[in-house]
Every structure is written in C-alpha cells, then in structure tokens.
C-alpha cells in the first residue's frame, strides 16, 4: 500500500478498527475455537475434546464470541439445557481471513509440509485466496494496493 | 469446513501451524507495524511517529519481525548507521490475510463507516478478496470448504 495523507482523526479510527478486530479474534484459543466451528464442531464438550482446552478458558472464550455476535447459542436439549455454538453471519464472514491466515502459516511456518489442505467440497481442488480488482478483473499485488480516505 | 477424520498427530501439527502464525503476527503492535510497512513507512522514527509507540516496544517488535524473516534491515545511512525495515517475500505474502482482516473489521467493527477503503492504484476501484476454486472458477462459500489430510 502506498502512503497517503490522512488526518490524525481518520488515522485513529483506522487504527482502532484493526485493533478492535485483533481484540476480538487475535487470541490463540479464540482462533482455534473458530477453526473448530468452521469444521462443524459446535458443542462445549466436543470443542473441549477437540482442542484439549481447560473448561474455564473455553467458557470464557465462548462467552466473548457470543458477546461479540460471532457465535450464537442455540439450545439443542432440555433438562439439562444444553447449547450448541453456531457461527453467525459476522462469524462466517471471517472465513476468508482465516483461510488466508492458514495458507500463510502452511506456506511459511510448516516448512512446505502442510498437514492439511483446504479444498472445494464439490471437486476436491485446493482453494486459492486472492485480492482482486473487480473492474480490471485481475489479481492485485500488494505494491498496487492503495488506501483511500473516505470523507 | 466439514469435519474430517485426522490423526492426533496431524491435528497437533495443524494446531501448531496456526498457533505459530498467531505467535508471530497476533499482536496489536506487530499488526500495526506491518500495516505501516505496507503503506511504505519503513524507518524507525517514521514508524514511531506513525503509531505513537514507545521506542522499546517498537525495537522489540521490529527485532522479532526481523528474526522471523518478515522484515529485513536495510542500511540507508552511514555514521551514524541507520536502517530501514523492508518487507521480505514472506512479509509481503501476508498482504491478502491483512486485507481480509481489515475488510472484516471495516464491515463489522466500524459500524459500516469505514475510515479508509483499499483500492487498486491503477483504476481506483475498491478491492475485493475472496476464496476461490481454480477448477470450478467460482467463489467458494465457507460451507463448501473442506479440509483434506495430506498423507
């Protein structure tokens, strides 16, 4: 991205958006819980087993995700009441960011030996993620990304 | 993503990849420093001014980013020696993840009032990011993403 003039106030708001995002999902357990949710693991006991996470930590992270409207509690059993945690629209919208994040980790942290590959269920092809320009219909390299101030 | 059978060992490796990634970039200052780097802000004093970050914190985060081969130190002045911090290939490859992350924050944390928009420098159009299947040439919704074990 190229440098652009922004006022201090706009810059603060931009900073606060990215910091707010990180405050919500920039925690290792939160990210792992979301990865489980995307894989269809939705019940407290299943998530706990899936991640081998302490109950109090899991309860804390789930309630934060519910408070932030990323997961919603859906009751699936009476007496005792039990709940599943489903991704909301806001939560599902994190998918491209998590995919991009996992691709980067696979490429650069797994030493070229990624344990799993994300594929399209319909055809089994490995997925790609990209930043694209809808007008030019091309993939856009980081050096051609510019930040425009919204006035 | 749909649930798939994975062995404990594969699961551990998958977990460790995403946790490693988060260990490297899942810190608010680190992410803000990277955002500055993508905007062409490369010198210690400029980054410090850009972010209003304490010198010791900035020095710590920069040295971690250099140790992790995400930024590289490039000398631009003798006596006294001064350096710029340039993104490496590994660092530039974080661009789609950061774009996805910023788009999500703009959409869901800025209350529909995003302070800036990422645009293509050539034409000024707002950028899109997506997860795509290269075989079917379609955008892939999170419900159609599956994780395949690499044996």
User: Hey, which residues 42-71 in chain A have their CB within 8 Å of chain B?
Assistant: 51
Across B108-122, b (16+ Cβ under 10 Å) vs e yields bbbeeebbbbbbbee
Is the Cβ–Cβ distance between A71 and A62 less than 8 Å?
yes
Is the Cβ–Cβ distance between B59 and B31 less than 8 Å?
no
Nearest to B96 among A100, A127, A149 (CB): A100
pLDDT at B59: 96
Q: Closest Cα to residue B26, out of A114, A97, A147, A11?
A: A97
Environment class of B21 (CB within 10 Å of its CB; exposed 0-12, middle 13-18, buried 19+) = buried
Question: CA-based diameter of chain B, in Å?
Answer: 59
Per-residue pLDDT at B145 exceeds 50: yes
Q: In percent, how much of chain B has pLDDT > 70?
A: 85
Q: A43: which DSSP letter?
A: B
Residues of B in contact with A115 (CB under 8 A): 6, 10-11, 13-14, 17, 149-150
* Size of the A and B interface in Cβ pairs below 8 Å: 279
What are the helix (H) ranges across chain A? 8-25, 28-38, 44-51, 55-67, 89-92, 95-108
Q: What is the ipTM of this complex?
A: 0.79
Domains in chain A, CATH or no CATH each? 8-144 (1.10.10.10)
Shortest Cα distance, chain A CAs vs residue B53, angstroms: 12
Distances (CA, A) of A62 to A19, A34, A112, B82, B140: 20, 10, 32, 46, 27
Is the Cβ–Cβ distance between B86 and B69 less than 8 Å?
no
Nearest to A115 among B17, B102, B103 (CB): B17
pLDDT at A14: 56
* pLDDT tens digits, A124-146: 998 888 888 989 988 888 788 88
Mean pLDDT over the full length of chain B: 83
pLDDT at A9: 42
Distances (CA, A) of A18 to A29, A59, A123, A133, B98: 19, 25, 35, 22, 9
Nearest to B104 among A39, A97, A127 (CB): A97
User: Hey, which residues 67-126 in chain B have their CB within 8 Å of chain A?
Assistant: 87, 90, 92-97, 99-110, 113-126
Tell me whether residues B147 and A1 touch, CB distance under 8 A. Answer: no
Two tokens, residue A50: 């899936």
Distances (CA, A) of B115 to A17, A80, A93, B87: 9, 46, 20, 25
């Amino acid at each position: 991205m190229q440098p652009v003039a922004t006022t201090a106030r706009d810059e603060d708001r931009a900073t606060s958006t990215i910091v707010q995002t990180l405050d919500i999902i920039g925690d290792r357990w939160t990210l792992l819980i979301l990865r489980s949710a995307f894989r269809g693991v939705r019940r407290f006991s299943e998530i706990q087993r899936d991640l081998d996470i302490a109950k109090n930590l899991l309860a804390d992270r789930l309630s934060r995700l519910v408070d932030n409207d990323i997961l919603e509690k859906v009751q699936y059993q009476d007496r005792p009441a039990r709940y599943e945690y489903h991704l909301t629209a806001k939560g599902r919208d994190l998918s491209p960011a998590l995919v991009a994040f996992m691709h980067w980790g696979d490429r650069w942290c797994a030493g070229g030996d990624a344990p799993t590959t994300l594929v399209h269920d319909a055809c089994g092809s490995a997925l790609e993620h990209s930043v694209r320009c809808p007008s030019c219909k091309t993939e856009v390299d980081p050096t051609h990304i510019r930040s425009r101030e919204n006035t």
